[in-house]
């Protein structure tokens, strides 16, 4: 009987792990809005996203509302540029796209000739996700240990604030649903 329970528990664990692995991807997206200096949206702007490691690039044209979305980008460092006839070319560098990340790269183009380029160096870290209401972040083991204060922060977990010791016996605060 215990062997059957162990096999069932193991099977359940494997199915949960497979489901979690299937939801994680190694690609992300970069999107944004291109405006002129007065704040008006610019349709027809050529936006180019270039992977710094592979030097491969993808191009998208902004729509009537000045927005663009480039999806299925492998994670890594990117440079994004925006250009339109009659405006200075703008470029953002140092954009780090994490796995399953969504980065917003907005541009403000200044009137000028196409030979002029405005370089904007991006800061490290993610920008605010204004594309979806999703709250998600992939963290590695070092970040998890730093966040929790390490494995010995509270000693026994039952001594941490807000953590209760689990018991199979019902307590007054638990209810059984039949």
Please write the tens of the pLDDT for every residue from 153-169: 555 555 555 555 555 55
Q: What pLDDT shows up at residue 75?
A: 93
Mean pLDDT across 51-73: 96
Give how far Cα 132 sits from Cα of 5, 12, 25, 101, 129, Å: 41, 31, 17, 11, 7
Read off the pTM. Answer: 0.55
Q: What pLDDT shows up at residue 3?
A: 60
Please write the tens of the pLDDT for every residue from 82-120: 999 999 999 999 999 998 899 999 999 998 865 556 666
Of 133, 136, 132, 127, the closest CA to residue 107 belongs to 127
Please name the residues in contact with 107: beta carbons below 8 A apart, sequence gap of 6 or more. Answer: 32, 33, 34, 35, 45, 47, 82, 90, 92
Question: Which stretch of 7-11, 21-25, 99-103, 152-156 has the lowest confidence by average pLDDT?
Answer: 152-156
Q: What is the mean pLDDT of the chain?
A: 75
Which residue blocks in 59-158 are alpha helix, DSSP H?
A: 141-148
State the CB neighbour count (10 A cutoff) for residue 66. Answer: 19
Which structural domains are found in the chain, ordered by start?
27-121 (2.60.40.1120)
**What count of residues does the chain have?**
178
């Amino acid at each position: 009987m215990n062997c059957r329970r162990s096999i069932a528990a193991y099977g359940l664990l494997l199915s949960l792990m497979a489901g979690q692995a299937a939801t994680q991807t190694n690609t992300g997206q970069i999107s944004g809005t291109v405006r002129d200096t007065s704040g008006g949206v610019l349709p027809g702007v050529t936006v180019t996203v270039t992977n710094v490691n592979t030097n491969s690039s993808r191009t998208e044209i902004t729509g009537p509302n000045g927005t663009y979305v480039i999806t299925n980008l492998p994670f890594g460092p990117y440079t994004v540029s925006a250009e339109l006839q009659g405006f200075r070319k703008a470029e953002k560098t140092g954009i780090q796209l994490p796995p399953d990340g969504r980065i917003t790269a907005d541009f403000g183009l200044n009137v000028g000739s196409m030979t002029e380029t405005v370089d904007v160096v991006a800061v490290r870290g993610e920008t605010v996700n204004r594309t979806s209401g999703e709250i998600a972040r992939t963290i590695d083991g070092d970040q998890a240990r730093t966040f929790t204060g390490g494995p010995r922060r509270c000693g026994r977990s039952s001594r941490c604030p807000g953590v209760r010791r689990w018991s199979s016996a019902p307590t007054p605060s638990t209810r059984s649903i039949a």
